[in-house]
Amino acid sequence: MKQEKDPEFVKFTGIEKRFGKVLAVKRMDLEIPEGSLVTLLGPSGCGKTTLLRMLAGLESPTRGDIYIKGRRMNDTPIHKRNLGMIFQNYALFPHKTIFDNVAFGLKYRNISKSVIKDKVEKALETVRLPGVGERMPSQLSGGQQQRIALARAIVIEPDVLLMDEPLSALDENLREDMRREIDNLQQALGVTTIFVTHDQREALSMSDKVVVMKDGFIQQEGTPEEVYNNSINHFVADFLGHSNFINSVVKEKTGDFLSVTLEDDHTFFAVPAGVLNTGDKAEIVIRAQKFKLGYRTDHVPEEGMNVFFGKIVDRSYMGGEVSYFIELDNKLVLHAINFVKRSPYRRGDEVFMKVAPEHCRLLKL
Ligand X SMILES: Nc1ncnc2c1ncn2[C@@H]1O[C@H](COP(=O)(O)OP(=O)(O)OP(=O)(O)O)[C@@H](O)[C@H]1O
Specify the stretch interacting with ligand X by CB under 6 A; choose among 18-26, 31-39, 185-193, 279-287.
18-26
Helix (H, G, I), strand (E, B) or coil at 122: helix
Q: Is 49 in the site for ligand X (CB under 6 A)?
A: yes
CB of 217 closer than 8 Å to CB of 234:
no
Specify the stretch interacting with ligand X by CB under 6 A; choose among 41-49, 128-136, 294-302, 351-359.
41-49
Helix (H) or strand (E) holding 220: strand 217-222
How far apart are CB 40 and ligand X at their closest, in Å?
8
Site mask for ligand X (CB under 6 A), range 198-237, x = bound: x---------------------------------------
Closer CB to Mg ion, 89 or 138, in the complex: 89
CB of 82 closer than 8 Å to CB of 133:
no
In angstroms, rounded to a whole number, what is the distance separating the alpha carbons of residues 210 and 206? 9
Q: Which does 244 bind (CB under 5 to 8 A by kind): ligand X, Mg ion, none?
A: none
CB of 260 closer than 8 Å to CB of 267:
yes
Q: What share of the chain is helix, strand, coil (3-state, %, to 5)?
A: 30, 35, 35
| Residues contacting 334, CB < 8 A, separation 6+ | 244, 246, 286, 291, 308, 310, 325, 326, 328, 353
Q: Is 46 in the site for ligand X (CB under 6 A)?
A: yes
How far apart are CB 4 and ligand X at their closest, in Å?
33
DSSP string, 13-78: EEEEEEETTEEEEEEEEEEE-TT-EEEEE--TTSSHHHHHHHHHTSS--SEEEEEETTEE-TTS-G
Specify the stretch interacting with ligand X by CB under 6 A; choose among 17-25, 136-144, 221-229, 321-329.
17-25
How far apart are CB 19 and ligand X at their closest, in Å?
3
Specify the stretch interacting with Mg ion by CB under 5 A; choose among 22-30, 33-41, 47-55, 125-133.
47-55
Q: Is 50 in the site for Mg ion (CB under 5 A)?
A: no
Span 270-329, contacts to ligand X by CB under 6 A:
none
* Strand-pair category, 37-41 with 192-197: parallel
Q: Is 19 in the site for ligand X (CB under 6 A)?
A: yes
In angstroms, rounded to a whole number, what is the distance separating the alpha carbons of residues 224 and 240? 10
CB of 307 closer than 8 Å to CB of 295:
no
How far apart are CB 48 and ligand X at their closest, in Å?
4
Q: Is 49 in the site for Mg ion (CB under 5 A)?
A: yes
Report the residue from 10, 36, 48, 286 that binds ligand X according to the rule CB under 6 A: 48
Q: Which does 231 bind (CB under 5 to 8 A by kind): ligand X, Mg ion, none?
A: none
**How far does the chain reach from its first CA to its final CA, in angstroms?**
50
In angstroms, rounded to a whole number, what is the distance separating the alpha carbons of residues 35 and 115? 26
Residues that bind ligand X (CB under 6 A): 19, 22, 24, 42, 44-50, 198
Residues that bind Mg ion (CB under 5 A): 49
